[in-house]
Structure 1
């Protein structure tokens, strides 16, 4: 396993994330109270960090490092504050999790940036925070991003980590999502030992080794929406799914407390902070927030002991801070960077006539991803049985919340398809499965609490079987990542290593203020973004480099580059060139009095024709047809 850490420096990104998450946990304890629940405290702390830094960044031009440093100081206060300091049992709980995820952490510690959206906006935006300590605006330095003012909640945590261990870490976003999954695993472990109908103040049983092992399996191997190259890449899918899982757990806890005549205040406050973290993960997250809030009101209002008015007040108030933060960010974007985000179509241009093909496309995805949607079907079967017998107990509330959110969110997706995607893109249900994975952990949460209630009495009567199942969970949690190491390290899938090698060869030949034309014949807006991001943000970083791509490499492209003042040109594939360069190579050229002359030429190594290349990157620019 050549990707395992070999030097202490290889652990810098992981150390940043570990310390950032520890700070989130400690600050979140000021909301959660004396009973330490690291995973819930971490999500609440993330919501506090997101609100603090976003409001600071839109209200002032002062550096975000000031409120971030204050946040770290609050974490140190929690360490020494007797009423908020985690006890030995809480640290033991976290320690068991760390031991059981060591294989995952070892395999993923050196994860490299991967996937298109990472290069197009997520990594550039994260680097901008570290470099400048502010959000980008129209008059600020170039962020080298396709969406420079996309929501920033995921980038804020790596930024916090950079204050503890300095420097931008390219793999920070991927490790952020991995740490979030570990928090989700700890929450599932708690579900297995804690009934959902426990009151807020009830002392909780700590999840042991077996429960923690099962929790890890539930968020990875047994998760119907888990796709490593999406879940662990640093995309917004994992943060949305995980915040929604926590929101579901806290909402159900609040409903149970309200049914019993209590206020459920602690759960509702924590829920509000989790929704604050959710809303600015990505642009579609506002749809998830609205769908979840409406679903919570519907399910709680159905309960006579709560009633519609109390449900609307409680869960409307819980969603209000997130809505306010979303509106604040929208105002900032529209006033400070009006051209820097994706926008919906005007209402009179909505593609209402495409509803039929959109539903057909959605149906095809359902058939292709039958495992995921079979879990959805089981969810509705369980819910129907409870509604038939009028059993909307704690488990019924979890089922109802997941089902209602699923329906409302998919309605939001349909509106997005006809009102956001132009032309031919609106005919298909774009990324329908990927968007539905946002719901995967909430659906699994409802199924787990349902099945748990059925299995607990049976396992209690068969203690030897329960012990064997626990041992199996521990062994699988430790061994499965090793067996799937190649799938987990999707950043080594071809042709990503080829593009990285191009960047490594080219970078030493460039100065920070150079202007370079990238001539990428046959590109499809894929290789260009990866290569540009690697040149700007991988060591040695050159954020001032002026790079412009062309998707052709004919004489017209060379003439255009020279006319625009680009003194250097990188030709990614010399096949069929008219400059006398050898075929099947890449080359750096300099423009002089006699035209374009080669500076360096790098032949491509032989490629195994049986080796499978991922379709995400165009093969043409890399001399592979």
Structure 2
């Protein structure tokens, strides 16, 4: 029983994590509410506030080289002022629907507050970048290289969230991203609840969803979400935030088209500025997300052109508010990368290196990946089929929503194919690397349309035969119980080997001195142990790489490696005949070792750690 309780209550740092992340998102929410106007969609206030903070931080960092800690202090003061103003104006800081959603989902939030980093990309980039930001107080540059971080040229909007929460906590808050992901899904769940009510023809519930409807919205974005993968959502990865921003952008685009089609003007200004803010966030999350932003705008224009009720001149007047904010931050960041050319990001290869001849193989692999995600594939096929029909008909709100969703789904997958051909190397392209993860960016677009479409179908065909009021308790119960049932699966961060690597890396970092160079040998491992080691090395210590199961390891390679002048220490996490030949009886299977080099072939054992028992790698 005690072990089970630790899934939810494990350490005192949970309190710090919850209040730090809550303060950050409360600040973003009040910023969004302060600038959004009375006709805004309140569910998206946190995204609008996030856009404002991202814009200020990025422009100040790029053009003024401003101190980010001073900016954070100013942001906190401004948030307090905005909060006081909103309290006086609205009588509350947080919409009641979001508060109810958070209360129902509190078991999940408590569980996530106990988690810590455990995934490869968290250690190599998504957490190392915010830590560099805390340590150096500046963006990466030639003068301020983020040495041990992968792809620091990625946009920084997601990093700002972890950075701000970590400043509140006083240390790097490893689960700030995971908690933020859950809050973002709940925020979008509020919108899904409203879409369901709108599709069901219940305008009163669309304005103020009840407990049961809110629980359905939360389930739609979590347990029933076809792209919910716990090792993505409950980490610091930016894919969930990308999906939320993409879903919000498409929903706002649809709202704008509906207002234009109905000839209403009152909400157009507020919705357009909100969409521009959401696109600003979207475009500054990952290197691929500008494609999502562009596809959303293009899809909106095409749907408007197809619909005879929409005057294109009216849409054209809204476009500066929609595309202006994202273009500002996009070009500011591109300018920064252009003058600091040592910052790494993924780049398009030369035309002669494009994998054009392999397009059939790549497409086949993409289809194979999707075929293994049956639930998602079925929904995507429905979206595309209904979307094509909707674009042709363009008569109802459902037609227009379906057309929007189908265009971005098809367009983004075409973009991914282009990326595999022109950006990824042959090895990654032929296995469609991370294809499922990229499709997660579309997940909430699919969820939003499915929710609205299912509610519309129920209203038109099933409402009289299938009244659902007697089951109103069920979604609430499911949302509360699900984290309790799936806790062992959700707490993947407690994996024995991951925690072993973390323990060893912390011990090793204590034994190293500035100027030391360390290499990791783990011939039976994936390389995860090396990423964790690099993450925990302190400033001045030099990580010299690793050799793992996917690398060629021979006696000569190991011998040449350990004789390099810039390597003073070697960490061995697993045994192999080649490693054993070089180190002899100094190592035995079932142990990890830290050696200090005394000479070309002379080593002193500084540490030794027994491996976890009966645990699979």
Alignment match, 2:550: none
The C-alpha deviation readout for 1:474-504, integer Å capped at 9, x for no partner, is 0001001111112212223453233223224
Distance in 1 of aligned mates of 2:237 and 2:183 = 13
Q: Identify if the C-alpha distance between structure 1 residues 430 and 196 changes in structure 2 by more than 3 Å, giving closer, same or farther.
A: farther
Alignment match, 2:423: 420
1:301–1:311 Cα contact (<8 Å) kept: no
Q: Mapping of 1:69-148 within 5 angstroms?
A: 69-81=73-85, 85-88=89-92, 90-148=94-152
Q: Mapping of 1:10-25 within 5 angstroms?
A: 10-25=14-29
Helix, strand or coil at the partner of 1:547 = strand
The C-alpha deviation readout for 1:417-452, integer Å capped at 9, x for no partner, is 111112333334332222112111101211211221
Task: Find the partner of 1:306 among 310, 313, 335.
Answer: 310
1:459–1:466 Cα contact (<8 Å) kept: no
Alignment match, 1:232: 234
Distance in 1 of aligned mates of 2:87 and 2:107 = 34
1:589, distance to aligned residue in structure 2 (A):
1.5
Q: Identify if the C-alpha distance between structure 1 residues 163 and 39 changes in structure 2 by more than 3 Å, giving closer, same or farther.
A: farther
> Does 2:404 correspond to 1:401?
yes
Which deviates more from structure 2 when the two are superposed, residues 37-46 or residues 467-476? 37-46
Q: Identify if the C-alpha distance between structure 1 residues 386 and 523 changes in structure 2 by more than 3 Å, giving closer, same or farther.
A: closer
The C-alpha deviation readout for 1:85-142, integer Å capped at 9, x for no partner, is 5435955333212211111011111221122221221111111122222111122154
1:191, distance to aligned residue in structure 2 (A):
2.3
The C-alpha deviation readout for 1:52-106, integer Å capped at 9, x for no partner, is 1111111022212233333222221122215775435955333212211111011
Alignment match, 1:606: 613
Task: Find the partner of 1:592 among 595, 598, 604.
Answer: 598
Alignment match, 2:52: 48
> Does 2:436 correspond to 1:433?
yes
Q: Identify if the C-alpha distance between structure 1 residues 21 and 518 changes in structure 2 by more than 3 Å, giving closer, same or farther.
A: same
Paired residues, what number? 600
Helix, strand or coil at the partner of 1:94 = helix
Helix, strand or coil at the partner of 1:412 = helix
Q: Identify if the C-alpha distance between structure 1 residues 516 and 358 changes in structure 2 by more than 3 Å, giving closer, same or farther.
A: closer
2:387–2:405 Cα contact (<8 Å) kept: no
Which deviates more from structure 2 when the two are superposed, residues 332-341 or residues 367-376? 332-341
1:512–1:543 Cα contact (<8 Å) kept: yes
Q: Identify if the C-alpha distance between structure 1 residues 294 and 87 changes in structure 2 by more than 3 Å, giving closer, same or farther.
A: same
Q: Mapping of 1:50-449 within 5 angstroms?
A: 50-81=54-85, 85-88=89-92, 90-194=94-198, 205-263=207-265, 264-315=268-319, 317-386=321-390, 390-449=393-452
1:553, distance to aligned residue in structure 2 (A):
8.3
Alignment match, 2:546: 550
Distance in 2 of aligned mates of 1:32 and 1:351 = 46
Distance in 1 of aligned mates of 2:202 and 2:485 = 38
1:317, distance to aligned residue in structure 2 (A):
4.6
1:382–1:399 Cα contact (<8 Å) kept: yes
Alignment match, 1:28: 32
Distance in 2 of aligned mates of 1:83 and 1:572 = 56
Alignment match, 1:528: 530
Alignment match, 1:581: 586
Distance in 1 of aligned mates of 2:193 and 2:503 = 42
Q: Mapping of 1:470-489 within 5 angstroms?
A: 470-489=472-491
Distance in 2 of aligned mates of 1:351 and 1:575 = 36
Distance in 1 of aligned mates of 2:88 and 2:58 = 26
Helix, strand or coil at the partner of 2:415 = helix
Helix, strand or coil at the partner of 2:326 = helix
1:241, distance to aligned residue in structure 2 (A):
0.8
Distance in 2 of aligned mates of 1:453 and 1:209 = 20
Distance in 2 of aligned mates of 1:94 and 1:274 = 19
Distance in 1 of aligned mates of 2:603 and 2:383 = 64
2:141–2:343 Cα contact (<8 Å) kept: no
Distance in 2 of aligned mates of 1:55 and 1:102 = 36
Q: Identify if the C-alpha distance between structure 1 residues 77 and 521 changes in structure 2 by more than 3 Å, giving closer, same or farther.
A: same
1:197–1:394 Cα contact (<8 Å) kept: no
1:247, distance to aligned residue in structure 2 (A):
0.8
1:559, distance to aligned residue in structure 2 (A):
5.4
Distance in 2 of aligned mates of 1:550 and 1:173 = 27
2:156–2:285 Cα contact (<8 Å) kept: yes
Helix, strand or coil at the partner of 1:602 = strand
Q: Identify if the C-alpha distance between structure 1 residues 271 and 169 changes in structure 2 by more than 3 Å, giving closer, same or farther.
A: same
Which deviates more from structure 2 when the two are superposed, residues 320-329 or residues 203-212? 203-212
Helix, strand or coil at the partner of 2:472 = helix
TM-score (norm 1): 0.89
1:254, distance to aligned residue in structure 2 (A):
1.3
Helix, strand or coil at the partner of 1:516 = strand
1:574–1:581 Cα contact (<8 Å) kept: no
Distance in 1 of aligned mates of 2:7 and 2:205 = 43
1:41, distance to aligned residue in structure 2 (A):
0.4
Distance in 1 of aligned mates of 2:105 and 2:205 = 26
Alignment match, 1:618: none
Helix, strand or coil at the partner of 2:174 = coil
1:5–1:11 Cα contact (<8 Å) kept: no
1:602, distance to aligned residue in structure 2 (A):
1.8
1:152–1:280 Cα contact (<8 Å) kept: yes
1:4–1:106 Cα contact (<8 Å) kept: yes
Distance in 1 of aligned mates of 2:87 and 2:607 = 64
